[in-house]
Every structure is written in C-alpha cells, then in structure tokens.
Amino acid sequence: MKIKNVIYLALVTLIGSCGKSEMQLSKSDVSILTEMENHSPIYLDIKEEKLQVNANNKIGSTNWIFHVNKSVNLVDAITEVKKIVDKKYAEKMHADSLGVYFSYSDTLQNKLNFLPFKGISFILDSGLDRVNTDHTIIFQKDRSFYYKEELYGFKEINKIINEVVNEPVYLVFEKDLNFESFIQIVTKINAIANNNISDNMYFKK
C-alpha cells in the first residue's frame, strides 16, 4: 500500500470496530515526508474524555503510522506510543528495519505528512537529572521556551539552536503541552539545517 500526494483534511475519517469517527490531526507549516509505502495505522484518539488507543490494524512487517488527535495531552500520547514502539524494536531473531512515523497536516502544501521518529528515545521524567542544563531547551504550553533560565518566544528557536556548536541540544517538554504543539515544535526544529538536537527527548510527568 502506498500513500502519495494525499490532499489532507483537517478531519481524518477513521474506520474502526465501533464504526466511523473523525479525528483532528495536528497541523504544521513544515513539509517533511509526503509519501509512504508498506504501512499500517495506529490511532490515538479521545473518546468520552479518555485517551483510547486502537492498534488493531498494525502489521509487524510494515512502517507504523501513528495518527494522534491534536488535542491529546503530550505526555499521555508519548507514554502509549513508547509502549508500542518498544515492542516493535525489542530484541528478536529478525530485527525490524522499518520505521515509525507521526502523521500531521501540512498547511503549506495541503497534504498529509509524516514525521519519522525511529531512533529517537522518549524519556519520561526519570532521565531529566542527566540532562546538560547548559544546552537544554524547555518548552512550555504555548511553545515558548526557557534556555539558560531566560524565556524566549518560539520564533527565536532557530537563533538559539544555531548558537550551539559541537554540543548536543536537549529538548524537554512540560507536561501540559498538547500533541499539536509537540508536532509544530519538532517539525520546525527538523527543518533547521545542521542542528545538533540530541536523539533523547525528555517529557515531564
């Protein structure tokens, strides 16, 4: 199966065991990847004010696409995603070489896009004491961020990241962000050439 040049809708229609429902995907003005082959879906949505995970249609030998409702709490989403991804790449006889992706709506090209995150470690709270605070960016609910104890607006992220040379930059996310804010932050940073972002991402619980 292949997704190619798909025109996105703000509402993605999903077919599940309970019938048809609509999910609002995150939006970003950065385009990363618009084509995908050999994939299967995983859905994280809100039903009756609770996070529900539908991984019934995932296939082991495929790329996994996580479709996440934009309003889901970030820590809740990452907690569930981490459980699923860890199982995909757990040690076994035949290593899984295929990827994992978050879907989102690209507002510039009006297409469904995919953000790859294979190789990224999601660390929940316990690893924060090992972060180098000299090069740590801590994102707030409104995407503003603290860097070296100073508060900056999100528009200044390029300048701050480009200031750091030959040292990893650590991203930390406060517990009250929603998933859309996370997608907008990470896609923007992904577009910065030669960034030194660490493969470890930290989430406060």
Task: Examine the domain organization and report whether 34 and 7 are in the same domain.
Answer: yes
Examine the fold and report which residue of 120, 145, 161 is the final residue of a domain before the chain moves on. Answer: 120
Task: Examine the domain organization and report whether 134 and 176 are in the same domain.
Answer: yes
Which pLDDT belongs to residue 167?
Answer: 87
pLDDT by residue (tens digit) across 171-197?
999 999 999 999 999 999 999 877 889
Task: Examine the domain organization and report whether 34 and 78 are in the same domain.
Answer: yes
Which pLDDT belongs to residue 205?
Answer: 85
Instruction: Choose between 153 and 91: higher pLDDT.
Output: 153
Task: Examine the domain organization and report whether 55 and 150 are in the same domain.
Answer: no
pTM of the model: 0.88
Task: Examine the domain organization and report whether 194 and 109 are in the same domain.
Answer: no
Examine the fold and report which residue of 68, 90, 120 is the final residue of a domain before the chain moves on. Answer: 120
Task: Examine the domain organization and report whether 85 and 176 are in the same domain.
Answer: no
Give the rounded percent of residues in the chain with a pLDDT score beyond 90. Answer: 64
Which pLDDT belongs to residue 93?
Answer: 56
Task: Examine the domain organization and report whether 86 and 24 are in the same domain.
Answer: yes
Examine the fold and report which residue of 120, 153, 169 is the final residue of a domain before the chain moves on. Answer: 120
pLDDT band (50, 70, 90) for residue 202: very high
Give a three-class secondary structure readout of the chain.
CEEECCECCCEEEEEECCEEEEEEECEECCCCCCEEECEEEEEEEEECCEEEEECCCCCCCCEEEEEEECCCEHHHHHHHHHHHHHHHCCCCCCCCCCCEEEEEEECCCCEEEEEECCCCEEEECCCHHHCCHHHEEEECCCCCEEECCEEECHHHHHHHHHHCCCCCEEEEECCCCEHHHHHHHHHHHHCCCCCCEEEEEEECC
Task: Examine the domain organization and report whether 113 and 127 are in the same domain.
Answer: no
Domain interval for residue 24 = 2-120
Total structural domains in the chain? Answer: 2
pLDDT by residue (tens digit) across 42-55?
999 998 889 999 99
Task: Examine the domain organization and report whether 8 and 96 are in the same domain.
Answer: yes
pLDDT by residue (tens digit) across 3-18?
443 434 434 544 443 4
Instruction: Choose between 123 and 94: higher pLDDT.
Output: 123
